Chain A
Amino acid sequence: MNILVCIKQVPDMESKFKINGAGSWYDSGDLAWRMNEYDEYAVEQAVQLKEKTGGDLTVLCIGPERVKETMKKALAMGCDRGVHVADDEFFKKDSFSIAAVIAEFAKTKSFDLIFTGMQSQDRGSGQVGVIIAEMLGIPSVTTIVSFVFDNNTITVKRELEGGLKAVIKAPVPALVTCQLGLNTPRYPTLPNIMKAKKKELLSIPVAELLNVSAHQETTSLFFPEKKGGGLVLEGEAGDVADKLINILKEKTAVLA
Chain B
Amino acid sequence: MQFKLTDEQKMMQDMARDFAQKEILPTLKEDEREHRFRPELVRKMGDLGFFGCAIPEEYGGNGCGFFESVLLAEQLAKVSGSWRVPLNMQNIGPSVTVNRFGTREQKERFIPAWVKADSFGFFAITEPNSGSDVAGMGTTATDRGDHWELNGQKMWISNAHVGDWGLVYAFTDRSKKYKGMTCFIVNLKDNEGIVTAPIETKLGLHCSPTGEIAFTQARIPKDSVLGEVGQGFKICMWQLNNTRVSCAAGALGIGGGAIEAAINYANERTQFGKKIGSYQMVQAQIADMVAEHEAAKLLVYQAAWLKDQGLPNQHQTSIAKLFASEAAVHAASETMKIFGSYGFSTEFPAERFLRDAQSLRVVEGTSNIQKTIIAGIALGDVENR
Q: List A residues at the B interface (Cβ < 8 Å).
A: 34, 68-69, 72-73, 76, 187-197
Contact = CB atoms under 8 A, between A and B. Distances in A.
Contacts of A187: 15, 18-19, 48
Interface stretch (B3-11, B164-172, B288-296, B346-354): B3-11
A192 B8 CA distance: 10
The majority secondary structure among interface residues of chain B is: helix
B4 to A, nearest CB: 12
B7 A194 contact: no
Contact of B62 (A34, A73, A194, A197): A194
Contacts of A196: 8
Contacts of A72: 7-8, 11
B49 A191 contact: yes
A76 to B, nearest CB: 6
A189 B8 contact: no
Interface string B61-86: 01110001000000000000000000
A191 B32 CA distance: 31
B50 interface: yes
Contacts of B14: 34, 73
The majority secondary structure among interface residues of chain A is: helix
Contacts of A34: 14
Interface in B7-44: 7-8, 10-12, 14-15, 18-19
Contacts of A76: 11
A188 B15 contact: yes
A5 B14 CA distance: 22
Contacts of B19: 187
Contacts of A192: 49
Contact of A190 (B7, B10, B68): B68
A191 B12 CA distance: 10
A189 B48 contact: yes
A40 B299 CA distance: 35
B118 interface: no
B313 to A, nearest CB: 22
Nearest to B18: A187
